[in-house]
Amino acid sequence: MQFTYLGRTGLSVSRLCLGTMNFGPLTSEADAHAIMDAAHEFGINFFDTANAYGLRSAGVSGLGEGRGATESIIGRWFAQGGGRRERTVLATKVYSPMGEWPNEGKLSALNIRRALDASLARLQTDYIDLYQFHHVDRATPWDEIWQAIDVAITAGKILYVGSSNFAGWHIAQAQAAAAQHGLVGLVSEQPIYNLITREVELEVLPAARHYGVGILPWSPLQSGLLGGVLRKQREGLRRLEGRAAHTLEAKRPQIEAYEDFAAELGHEPGDVALAWLLHQPAVTAPIVGPRTRQHLDDAVGALDVRLDEKALTRLDEIFPGYRAAPEHFAW
């Protein structure tokens, strides 16, 4: 396994982060525990979850018990001992509503306090390594947010703070407010980022690099569209619906060219997509969210893929990206 530092911190994390969103709704607890054991065997020490994970999506027949179920699955895995908690850099999130009463969501000081304690109880641990704001809260002032975080850090309940789905100016705003409180501020940002969805290159990535914030891309395969979807459709192994099906039809020529190029390189399309992210200078670790052990095995193969400048240029030709603002649209 390859390791790097999380943003500007001295915290060493694996170049792949294990995403757990499927644990509960789509992956049974026994299988989830086996996947986490396998992740440690591969050397993956960085796990990502959220307090809201575990709720079944509408129309999906799954196994989840509701919000919080995924954290509980991880907590019962930690409780087995054997160094599981000690070897894991644990990241979870706060923001999504956990109930229908006021103050059961977002980033008020009250919700941060209650949600953090609830996550600690479900995860069966006394601290969170990386506590992430799942979304920007436009109603709560940053002074209130950072004061609540300062209390939690002082109490030893969290070590580092990150964000998810922030705009570039949100990162700048958060860092300015944190500096006023004498805090380190954000050390990571978790955006959607992959070969198809590259808008964060405009302002989020430049802001992250400026402030020393590590990027943890979610949906690195764009809901499977970069994982060899056309070949799997031909083989009868994959059927898409909804937004993914619409995106596939809109970008079919590009995806066809991409799968052909991956074959030319001699690699699986999913490995190329992950390897491309690992070649981006702002990226700390893509988040891979396996439903099965085989999915995890497949993802680890990306670490052995090396893309030279010619290959990176070709991928940019297939899926054009963005230059940093304002040069992308002005001088």
Enumerate the active-site residues: 53
Residue owning tokens 């700390």? 284
Please check whether residue 302 is in contact with residue 271, taking contact to mean a CB–CB distance below 8 angstroms: yes
Please check whether residue 25 is in contact with residue 62, taking contact to mean a CB–CB distance below 8 angstroms: yes
What is the CB neighbour count within 10 angstroms for residue 290?
23
The strand ranges marked E within the chain are: 3-5, 12-14, 17-19, 46-48, 89-94, 128-133, 158-164, 186-190, 214-215, 287-288
Please check whether residue 27 is in contact with residue 232, taking contact to mean a CB–CB distance below 8 angstroms: no
Calculate the CA dihedral of residues 208, 6, 94, 211 and round it to 10 degrees.
Answer: -20
Contacts of 187 by beta carbon, 8 Å cutoff, 6+ apart: 6, 7, 8, 9, 11, 130, 160, 161, 162, 212, 213, 214
Between the alpha carbon of residue 83 and those of residues 54, 193, 241, 322, the distances in Å are 25, 32, 41, 43
**SS3 for 274?**
helix
Give dist(CA 38, CA 29) in Å, integer.
Answer: 14
